[in-house]
Amino acid sequence: MNKTSTKKVSIFLNGLIKENPVLVLVLGTCPTLAMSTSVISAVAMGISATLVLVCSNIVISLLRNIIPDKVRIPSYIVIIAGFVTMVQMLLHAYLPSLYAMLGVYLALIVVNCIILGRAEMYASKNGVFNSLLDGLGMGLGFTLALFLMATIREVFGNASFAGIKIGFLENYKIAILTQAPGGFFVFGLLIAIVNKIGHNKTVKKKEFSCSGCPSASFCHKNLCEENTLEKEEKQHA
Amino acid sequence: MRKNIKSVLVLTIICLVVSCTLAVINFFTADIIKNTEQKAAFEECYNLITDAQSFTNIDISSLNLDEMITNVYKEETGKGFVFRINSSGFEDGLIVMCAIDMDGKIINTKVIQSNETPGYGKELEDLTNETTKTFLDSYIGKDSSLSGVIDKYSNASRTSEGFRKAINAAFKAFNQMKAVEAKEGVANE
Amino acid sequence: MLKSLIIILMTSVLVNNYVLNKFLGICPFLGVSKKLNQAVGMGLAVIFVMLLATLVTYPIQHYLLDKFNLGYLQTIVFILVIAALVQLVEIILKKYLPSLHRSLGVYLPLITTNCAVLGVTINNITDGYNFIESMTSSLGCGLGFLLAMVLFAGVRSRIENAHIPNAFKGLPSTLIAAAIVSCAFFGFAGIVENLFG
């Protein structure tokens, strides 16, 4: 019993730290860069994505033996899109200000590599409870990364935190952090820090980028730089 | 062959189930959405014209207004019109509401929503900010010549331009609405 | 009419560049922009898919979804249409234009789950463009994507020859370079208003 419970916890923690979808696997970069200008929108995006991820993981895991291999990807897309639309409608009705903040990026959760990637890589091969834990872990990891980026960008770029102004930083604002270049810069910095801290502990991107990417099944492994590098190495060997 | 049929069947069933679930949720939320939006818009109208009695949302689809105008609200006791304008400053989506009385003078203006830079253009949404209050108050009582308004909001020149564009569009629409009303008045007689 | 189309084109290529300003289409941008020929191929494929997607989704939205009040099905319908379209195009290319398939076809599946394509189709509806304006906007966004990719391929080839600290090797240096390129595009900010008054 102890072994299985530690295993369950490790599934959950996996998504949070070791295989953090944003900072380690580098998936779902679009909403990360766009929604991390303020803490509130970052947390809202993170929680919406987590909701969709958990629900779609559960449903896809439940249906994993019924969906034939040929229509795998379209079915996953329909299920994920269904949950995204549900979240859209509920937010629009009950939390319209958040809906306005998220804008088009809420609809873009449907093509978020994290969700389709997890569905393909984990939910279609594992039981319901494990898929739930995995979805929760990955989603919270996503939210954590977004929160981190948003904190840096909002505190140093706008001298506020979740809308509450921080007086003594007001004169030292670096406004560009809240705009487009700032997003790229902070993201790059964070990944560099994670690389430095992680070293050999975190999973090297090289081993996971293709299997984590939802287009892996059609891509023929021709495109991503890691694979062209491997191919070249093989040719020279 | 059998595999293909099974694949298509499963996909179709999934699509149907998902669509039906969404239709059910839509049934429950569509009215709420419409009402909340209407209520929120009217609330802003009352914020701009404080002694207003009631507003109606005018159907502008057949009028040839500037495409920046998203809604026109008419105050029923003749206090004026409120225009909701979707302008663009540094970024798109600069939503401005402008109330103009029947003599063609601004009653009040407000920036409802924007994607401008936080701390700079976005401050225009914050009415507790003294600079914002001074900027917006300078527009009160002005007519379409806008003489004597504060030209630029400090450090937000493009947002200020977007705001000015919105106000100009509101005045243009106001003249068009007056012309429409005059025509209707003649027709009624 | 022509003037507004040119404004839309210039705005989506330079001022509101989809990659550097709106953060759509980052995954292929970071993954495929290392070599110039790959970058060009990807950019052209994206333009092609965007135009095709708008061509199909615009009528669907206006004559199907809006007519029957099925607006809430927009996300599902759009993404399915885009996925199906790309599959179809790939099959047709493979069969009838194998040379084109060899150069562009490999990028097509990667574009299906690309934020940029879905983003541009949804944004065209939200911005209320008519058909010609939607097509122009998609063309502009695709061109903006191509421009960003090509510029970046040049930047990255320079970075490769530089000395970079270990922690920054790979993605972090790419992202910081992207920050600088994005900063450069800020210079286009006032261009549309000042050119066209």
- Domains of chain B, by residue range, sit at 48-188
Whether residue A48 has pLDDT greater than 80: yes
Whether residue A103 has pLDDT greater than 90: no
Question: Quick check: A66 and B8 CB within 8 A?
Answer: no
- Chains in contact with B, where contact requires at least 3 CB pairs less than 8 Å apart: A, C
Given this model, what pLDDT does residue A211 score? 46
Given A63, A78, A158, which is nearest B119 (Cβ)? A158
Check CB contact of C70 with chain A, cutoff 8 Å: no
Given this model, what pLDDT does residue A40 score? 92
User: Per DSSP, which regions of A65-200 are E strands?
Assistant: 160-161, 164-165
Given this model, what pLDDT does residue A207 score? 40
- Domain annotation covers residue C195: no
Question: Residues of B near A (CB-CB distance < 8 A)?
Answer: 3-4, 6-8, 10-11, 14-15, 18, 21-22, 25-26, 29, 32-33, 36-37, 40, 113, 117-120
pLDDT band per the 50, 70, 90 thresholds, residue A187: very high
What's the number of domains chain C is made of? 1
Which chain A residues are within 8 Å of B26, Cβ to Cβ? 89
Partners of residue B100 on adjacent β-strands = B81, B106
From A35, which residue of chain B is nearest by alpha-carbon distance?
A: B115
- Domain annotation covers residue C1: no
Report the share of chain A in percent with pLDDT over 90: 22
Model confidence pLDDT, tens digit, residues A219-231: 444 445 444 444 4
Is the same domain home to A19 and A130?
yes
Residue of C73, C78, C183 to mutate, interface with B, max B Cβ within 10 Å: C73
Whether residue A47 has pLDDT greater than 60: yes
- Domain annotation covers residue C31: yes
Is the same domain home to A148 and A234?
no
Is the same domain home to A179 and A228?
no
pLDDT band per the 50, 70, 90 thresholds, residue B37: confident
Q: Are B60 and B72 in contact (CB under 8 A)?
A: yes
- Domain annotation covers residue C3: no
Question: Quick check: A82 and B37 CB within 8 A?
Answer: no
Is the same domain home to A222 and A178?
no
Paired tokens of A52: 């969709």
Rounded Cα gap, residues A178 and B122, in angstroms? 11
Is the same domain home to A57 and A81?
yes
Residue of B12, B26, B160, B163 to mutate, interface with C, max C Cβ within 10 Å: B26
Which chain C residues are within 8 Å of A192, Cβ to Cβ? 167-168, 172
ipTM of the complex model: 0.84
Question: Quick check: A30 and C106 CB within 8 A?
Answer: no
Rounded Cα gap, residues B65 and B70, in angstroms? 9
What's the number of domains chain A is made of? 2
Given A74, A94, A157, which is nearest B11 (Cβ)? A74
Which chain A residues are within 8 Å of C175, Cβ to Cβ? 184-185, 187-188, 191
- Domain annotation covers residue C4: no
In the predicted model, what is the mean pLDDT of chain C?
84
Rounded Cα gap, residues B57 and B42, in angstroms? 9
Check CB contact of C100 with chain B, cutoff 8 Å: no
Partners of residue B111 on adjacent β-strands = B96
Given this model, what pLDDT does residue A1 score? 52
Model confidence pLDDT, tens digit, residues B3-24: 788 888 888 888 888 888 888 8
Question: Quick check: B22 and C190 CB within 8 A?
Answer: no
Given this model, what pLDDT does residue C141 score? 92
CA distance A211 to chain B (A): 24
Q: What 3-state class would DSSP assign to B28? A: helix
Closest CA to B118 of A57, C37, C61, A160: A160
Q: What is the pTM of this model?
A: 0.83
How many C-beta atoms surround the C-beta of residue C68 within 10 A? 9
Mean per-residue pLDDT, A96-108: 86
Rounded Cα gap, residues C146 and C51, in angstroms? 14
CA dihedral B88, C146, A49, A150 (to 10 degrees): -60
Phi, psi (deg, nearest 5) at residue A160: -150, 165
Is the same domain home to A211 and A100?
no
Is the same domain home to A101 and A178?
yes
- Domain annotation covers residue C84: yes
Tell me how far CA of residue C67 lies from CA of A37, A92, A163, C63, C70, in angstroms: 37, 21, 41, 6, 8
From A28, which residue of chain C is nearest by alpha-carbon distance?
A: C27
Given this model, what pLDDT does residue C69 score? 79
Rounded Cα gap, residues B68 and B92, in angstroms? 11
pLDDT band per the 50, 70, 90 thresholds, residue B189: low
Mean per-residue pLDDT, B100-117: 86
Rounded Cα gap, residues B144 and A99, in angstroms? 35
Q: What is the DSSP code string of chain C?
A: -HHHHHHHHHIIIIIT-TTTTT--SHHHHHHH-SSHHHHHHHHHHHHHHHHHHHHHHHHIIIIIITTTT-GGGHHHHHHHHHHHHHHHHHHHHHHH-HHHHHHHGGGHHHHHT-HHHHHHHHHHHHTT--HHHHHHHHHHHHHHHHHHHHHHHHHHHHHHTS---GGGTTHHHHHHHHHHHHHHHGGGTTHHHHHH-
Question: Quick check: A81 and B18 CB within 8 A?
Answer: yes
Check CB contact of B40 with chain C, cutoff 8 Å: no
Q: Are A148 and A166 in contact (CB under 8 A)?
A: no
From A191, which residue of chain C is nearest by alpha-carbon distance?
A: C172
Report the share of chain A in percent with pLDDT over 70: 82
Model confidence pLDDT, tens digit, residues B41-81: 888 888 888 888 888 888 877 777 877 888 888 888 888 88
Is the same domain home to A161 and A233?
no
Determine whether C122 is exposed, middle or buried from the number of CB atoms within 10 Å of its CB (0-12, 13-18, 19+).
Answer: buried
- Chains in contact with C, where contact requires at least 3 CB pairs less than 8 Å apart: A, B
Closest CA to A213 of A199, A224, A202: A224
In the predicted model, what is the mean pLDDT of chain A?
80
Question: In terms of pLDDT, which residue wins out, A73 or C34?
Answer: A73
Which residues form the domain of C96?
10-190
In sequence order, what are the residues at sequence separation of 6 or more whose Cβ sits closer than 8 angstroms to the Cβ of residue C9? Answer: C136, C137, C139, C140, C143
Is the same domain home to A212 and A122?
no
Which chain C residues are within 8 Å of B19, Cβ to Cβ? 73, 76
pLDDT band per the 50, 70, 90 thresholds, residue C44: confident
Given this model, what pLDDT does residue A151 score? 93
Whether residue A205 has pLDDT greater than 60: no
CB pairs under 8 A between A and C: 137
Which residues form the domain of A69?
2-202
- Domain annotation covers residue C154: yes
Whether residue A15 has pLDDT greater than 90: no
Residue of A85, A153, A173 to mutate, interface with B, max B Cβ within 10 Å: A85
Given this model, what pLDDT does residue A83 score? 92
Is the same domain home to A187 and A209?
no
Rounded Cα gap, residues A161 and A159, in angstroms? 7
Which region, left, alpha or beta, applies to residue B67 given φ > 0 means left and ψ of -120 to 50 means alpha? alpha
In the predicted model, what is the mean pLDDT of chain B?
85
CA distance B148 to chain A (A): 30
pLDDT band per the 50, 70, 90 thresholds, residue A121: confident
Given this model, what pLDDT does residue A87 score? 92
Model confidence pLDDT, tens digit, residues B79-97: 888 888 888 887 777 889 9
Question: Quick check: A108 and C24 CB within 8 A?
Answer: yes
Mean per-residue pLDDT, C4-17: 86
Given this model, what pLDDT does residue A58 score? 92
Given this model, what pLDDT does residue C90 score? 83
Check CB contact of C103 with chain A, cutoff 8 Å: no
Question: In terms of pLDDT, which residue wins out, C1 or B6?
Answer: B6
From A38, which residue of chain B is nearest by alpha-carbon distance?
A: B118
